[in-house]
């Protein structure tokens, strides 16, 4: 009988030299302090713009909250988290450098902006189906069938819940 090949990672073993390359492919390079600070400042800017917008809606009182109450509270949390990120930007080592994968995030944000721009004009059914389809097929890598059926199913479920059952006044075609 022959012994199985030795697969331990000892100095000089072939597998040892392949491990760092495999790990490098799995884990992108960490972002630096400047990248972390820029991201933190963007988060703070989003939080502050939310604060301004929610103040324009009105806060109301604790007993009678107005339309801007919840957006204000969420914006305070976002701003506080952005400030915390900025303070910790030099010590954070688990953030990744921006890579080609960031384009997927940009595409998701762009499609959401398009969704918001047209929903009040043509209702939520078509934009929601298109958004779900694009996200499933092109961002999620699902098959054409899953993307088509999933996007229609999502719109039907949302319509049944929000328009049918809860009678939420959303712009809709039907």
pLDDT at 45 over 50: yes
Residue 22 has pLDDT above 80, yes or no: no
Q: How many domains does the chain have?
A: 2
- How confident is the model over 50-77, as pLDDT tens digits? 999 999 989 888 888 888 899 999 999 9
**Average of pLDDT values for 129-142?**
94
Q: What is the mean pLDDT of residues 145-160?
A: 95
- Six-digit token pair at 73? 């509270």
Q: Is residue 18 part of a domain?
A: no
Q: Do 68 and 92 sit in the same domain of this protein?
A: yes
Instruction: Give the up-direction half-sphere exposure of residue 138: CA atoms within 13 A in the CB hemisphere.
Output: 13
Which residue among 74, 99, 124 closes a domain? 99
Beta-carbon contacts of residue 33 (< 8 Å; ≥ 6 apart): 89, 90
The more confident residue out of 129 and 95 is 129
Q: Could you tell me the residue range of the domain that residue 137 belongs to?
A: 100-174
- On whether both 45 and 79 belong to a single domain, the answer is yes
Asked whether 52 and 83 are in contact (CB, 8 A), the reply is: no
Q: What is the pTM of this model?
A: 0.56
In a domain, 104, yes or no: yes
Helix (H) or strand (E) holding 56: helix 33-57
Give 101-123 pLDDT, tens digit per residue.
Answer: 778 888 999 999 999 999 988 98
Is the pLDDT at 16 greater than 50? The verdict is: no
Which of 69, 84, 99 represents a domain boundary (last residue)? Answer: 99
| Residues 35 and 43 sit within 8 Å (Cβ to Cβ) | no
Q: Which of 31-40, 57-66, 136-145 has the highest mean pLDDT?
A: 136-145
The predicted structure's pLDDT at residue 50: 94
* Burial zone of 29 (CB within 10 Å; 0-12 exposed, 13-18 middle, 19+ buried): exposed
Residues 104, 173 share a domain:
yes
In this predicted structure, what is the pLDDT of residue 66? 87
């Amino acid at each position: 009988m022959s012994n199985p090949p030795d697969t331990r990672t000892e100095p000089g073993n072939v597998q040892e030299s392949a491990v760092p390359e495999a790990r490098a492919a799995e884990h992108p390079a960490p972002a630096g302090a400047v990248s972390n600070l820029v991201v933190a400042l963007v988060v703070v800017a989003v939080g502050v713009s939310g604060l301004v917008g929610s103040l324009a809606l009105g806060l109301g009182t604790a007993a009678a909250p107005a339309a801007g109450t919840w957006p204000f509270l969420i914006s305070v949390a976002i701003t506080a988290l952005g400030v915390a990120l900025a303070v910790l930007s030099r010590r954070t080592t688990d953030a990744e450098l921006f890579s080609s994968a960031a384009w997927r995030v940009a595409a998701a944000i762009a499609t959401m902006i398009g969704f918001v721009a047209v929903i009040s004009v043509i209702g939520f059914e078509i934009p929601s189906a298109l958004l779900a389809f694009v996200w499933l097929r092109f961002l999620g890598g699902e098959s054409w069938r899953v993307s088509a059926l999933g996007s229609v199913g999502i719109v039907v479920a949302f319509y049944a819940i929000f328009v049918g059952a809860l009678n939420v006044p959303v712009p809709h075609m039907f």
